[in-house]
Structure 1
């Protein structure tokens, strides 16, 4: 018998789980008592998340989610249940200084999922503890937004292998201390997905999974405040479909249909998918396009509060049934909005576990272009503290373009014009500004706003390509120093640093994408190369380009693992120094404070000794070199693009 609750009261999730276990004659199964204990712990999050979105009419959904929890748990393999126990005993497994991420496309890295398995030793050599394989669930045929137009969440791309192959890969990764991350696209499905096909066939249940309008009246009202994600090749946010006889909401592309998350059936479907993927061995789900889930007239339909209630409920489902799974929010939004995806107020620590620190990435490139750290400090100072149980995912490059998320107020605070600075950055990183060594390409230029985004590999943006083209050893040295400085910030900021495939070898822009019809119209493929395994063999050669960069990245990881202060529970405090080219970062920890100094210029610089903060009057050591920083006349002297990680010598 199902629990009965008074009108308006919230059913106890643990009672609902107990009832579902009893209905399935599973109350005495091994582990059932632990499942109920987790339901008592995280059930209030599940209930609160659902009620925040659906109000007093949500009891039916809570009951359905409790049943999804039990069914998902019953299907969970024993090896993963053991992993759950380990993770519950070490819930900060993704926060420690030993946490390092590697990001790649399975096909570009190794051809197939089985091929990835063959290169696990390479990942371990880099210190990888977290592998993010870019979209691998079955997409629509033809154009598919790089895999983000999913046609079947329960199948793998046929060219990569099968779901069994994914499960086998996850097991091998786990045996080697590596967690697996894949993408779960939440905002939309491919127009060919079975839900969309049923909607087009006239099934009213599935039509309600989407936002469909009979005429343009309502879409036009929404369009007044909606931005365009891809103004070049997908203008507007709605597409007419003859078969469904209506205008379908399509934020990204005409073949990607936005889901109606105000429909409890959609929430239930995704709760089931979360556990299905967790039961295949996935450790982290990257929640793609999460900011776009909830639609509200008169807004930009991003970052609406209901998004956090939905995420809280889905995370609670996972915590009860598959507690070793964590969520990473793909929310490339303003700082004030971004922290909400990790949880603030009553949501603190109960939404996503990880979130991309997009602002840090943007500000590193900005500081390198200007030789000035002031805007970086101003921007990062606007971030409120995150929950101590969560972590930033820090990165220098990713599969996507770089959007210049420079706040006008932040720019004005240091005497700059935000619009002009964004235009400068775009010109600098395509190499059009005098003196720029960068070689990127503009992506999605918006003529109305003047904004443009940038494609390009980290090495090409840092000047390696230009130096090699001119056969200039001195310029190459500076470019590699620039790249080292940037990655030192990424590895030293705290959280989990993400190394994008090929950066460890200083791979350049790959223009062969122009020869592939499916990629030719999207220049982001220039920084999505295939792994040149013939060049990987040079990674141990200290004189080869690949060896020099690989050595830098490997060393950063090794030093990082030795410093307790790089645990993600600690906040990084950025500070201005007496020299605008030099950034100081302090991390206060019970095991000892860590002070980091970064010179964002290609010249020698000096700063006042006071930048060393709490370790100023002590004997200090730079853990990246093992030596002592140069100090003269009450100042610290820094070589071009220096990166120092300093603690008191013990």
Structure 2
């Protein structure tokens, strides 16, 4: 293994060669054990070939990225820093092209962004293509955005300004037009083996008994007949998205090479799309299988050997008990992904704003398993996707609520159907069999700004702005890497023309994916505008957060007993600082008894940068106000970042 790597690296500078071999010695056990869990006796040969992939790509790695590798090795918690702020957008909707995104880098730095996630931009099949998630070529960029050289140039521009580039890597499937699928349809057995293909319905029917439907409106069922294949191919998401067969080691090796190739373009974080679906097992829902985590560990080991600056983020929208595994637990602890989405926090923030109640949110956060201290949550108010009401019956029952009734309430509330609702959203993918009704809409429209402006109600508009800021304060205060969806920093409303594009007309998620109106963005410089309030309110919170040691992502946020039903209270205990956060989830003043705040001494509101005002032994939280409080921990011992 070492001899073969040394042979490939023979022409490299001695220090680079020795660093590669040192990394290989460190990560070889993780690579081999991960592959053994999936491939058994075939693992050693696959691991040796994976090392060859890493060595060949290491030779191609640009000098500036090799320097970045060294910096990341001495600063491994870079993505956990309190100064981190993520921003997510579609490249064409933000800057038109990759070069256009580079030209807007100053706007991102003005906001405080250190992490830019560009939504799918690798060459997809022609529309429909699931918003770019049906990839036709992993090694080309969408032609309208530019070239792979443009991508590398953008990464360099961002890196010079302290911004890490994040891209999607779709692991579960490829487009029907991908070369592998084309060659499979042409009869090449090697590539037929890259997919799950069955000659009749016997096996598909057996699997279908336990498989949920992801898009019941768009693509019912999980298998599609293909005349060229003369078989049924597994298609979890759409008929033109073919699931890869990760039971085949060749698939792992192909994707390992893609990972290394993208790292060499300057990508610093890969969002592993649809990762929960990789491994198929009869009699299960074919999600969250143990082999998924073993294979991700192996993939990460290859990346750590070839490009240690690269981090992984798991796109796993699963329950809390399953989610921790994507960051690594047990023998995989800290060896799987570096980041994972905290979907529960997003769902529960919107739930608590509708209910004006912190108790369900508190219960859900308390049931959340701890993560490895070397990892971080990706937290967010909104994302590119719909909101599914992942509220468990168990959590609802713990606060005396009916889970099914609350989920119906949330769908009604955020679609604007519930009497007195402030929201304007659209129902997405109604499934009558399960009652599932997900919601599309921008954060501003869901928070009430669209309705307030349409009704010319200044008071309602003020409350909507406060709600938006409050939601972002919760996300910023929870730790991890807070992510802002493009336009939320300006209060962009639903795109009423979303259906005018024939490619999007059948998918109302495009209502919350508007193009960036740069003329509107200019209003952030005009005091008194909504855009100014939101942009600078968010920026002030980002700056305050950057100076707080307790916001380091290694620290867990503890959900404390709500001092009042409408007030969320959390605590973050770092060796240097204890931080208690209070959030008023209602449109009414909330008076919190000082004795319920677990801090002694004089309190300081770090969010406002001033002493926290107290009156008659109480703290006043005006509508939708957040307090980030420091003081004396009251004699309680602070935990170290590992929680020991």
Q: TM-score range by the shorter chain?
A: over 0.9
Task: Show CA shifts across 1:3-31 (max 9, x none).
Answer: xxxxxxxxxxxxx1432322563476441
Tell me which of 557, 570, 573 is aligned to 1:572. Answer: 557
Q: How far apart, CA to CA, are the structure 2 residues paired with 1:581 and 1:163?
A: 50
| 1:209 paired to 2:199 | no
Give, in whole Å, the separation in 1 of the partners of 2:39 and 2:70: 33
Q: Which residue of 1 aligns with 2:340?
A: 355
8 Å contact kept, 1:620–1:647: yes
Q: Which residue among 76, 80, 93 is the counterpart of 2:78?
A: 93
Q: Does 1:378 align with 2:363?
A: yes
**C-alpha deviation, 1:238, in angstroms:** 0.4
Q: TM-score, normalised by structure 2?
A: 0.97
Of residues 416, 424, 428 in structure 2, which corresponds to 1:431? 416
Q: How does 1:24-63 map to 2 (within 5 A)?
A: 25-26=10-11, 29-63=14-48
In structure 2, the gaps of 5 or more residues are 634-644
The structure 1 residue matched to 2:471, chosen from 471, 479, 486, is: 486
Contact 1:17 1:67 in 2 (8 A): no
Alignment of 1:396-475 (within 5 A): 396-475=381-460
| 2:629 corresponds to | 646
- Segment of structure 1 superposing worse, 452-461 or 511-520: 511-520
Name which of 206, 223, 235 aligns with 2:208.
Answer: 223
Pick the aligned partner of 1:599 from 565, 584, 587: 584
| Contact map agreement 1:373 1:576 (CA 8 A) in 2 | no
The Cα offsets for residues 420-467 of structure 1, whole Å up to 9 and x where unpaired, read as 110100000011111101000000000001111000000000000011
CA contact (8 A) 2:490 2:532 kept: yes
Task: Report the counterpart of residue 626 of structure 1 in structure 2.
Answer: 609
Tell me which residue corresponds to 2:518.
533
Extract unaligned runs of 5+ from structure 1.
1-15
Could you give the per-residue CA deviations for residues 462-513 of structure 1, whole angstroms, max 9, x where no partner exists? 0000110111111111111111110000111100100100000000000211
Separation in 2, partners of 1:403, 1:440? 13
Partner Cα separation in structure 2 for residue 94 and residue 391 of structure 1: 8
SS of 1:444 mapped into structure 2: strand
CA distance in 2, matches of 1:626, 1:262: 55
**Partner of 1:588: helix, strand, or coil?**
strand
Return the TM-score normalized by structure 1: 0.96
Determine if the alignment matches structure 1 residue 583 to structure 2 residue 595: no
Matched residue SS, 2:498: helix
Offset from partner CA, 1:104-140 (integer Å, 9 cap, x none): 0000001000000100000000111100000000000
Is 1:250 matched with 2:250? no
- C-alpha displacement of 1:348: 0.7
In the alignment, the residues of structure 2 paired with residue 361 and residue 394 of structure 1 have an alpha-carbon distance, to the nearest angstrom, of: 7
Contact 1:282 1:325 in 2 (8 A): yes
Matches of 1:207 and 1:431, distance apart in 2: 48
C-alpha displacement of 1:554: 0.9
Contact 1:584–1:611 under 8 Å retained in 2 = no
SS in 1 for 2:116: strand
Give a deviation string over 1:133-154, Cα, whole Å, max 9, x none: 0000000012000000000000
Counterpart Cα distance in 1 of 2:75 and 2:608: 32
Count residues in correspondence: 633
Deviations 1:72-102 (A, max 9, x none): 1111111100000011110111100011101
Q: Could you give the per-residue CA deviations for residues 354-397 of structure 1, whole angstroms, max 9, x where no partner exists? A: 00000000000000000001111111111121111100000000
> CA separation in 1, counterparts of 2:387 and 2:2?
45
Which range moved further: 597-606 or 143-152? 597-606
CA distance in structure 1 between the partners assigned to 2:17 and 2:9 by the alignment: 12
CA distance in 1, matches of 2:6, 2:26: 17
* 8 Å CA contact 1:102, 1:130 repeated in 2: yes
Q: Deviations 1:46-91 (Å, cap 9, x if unpaired)?
A: 1111111112331110111111111111111111000000111101
CA distance in 2, matches of 1:412, 1:630: 37
Q: CA RMSD in A?
A: 1.2
In 2: Cα distance, 1:196 partner to 1:339 partner: 33
Q: Distance in 1 between matches of 2:447 and 2:155?
A: 34
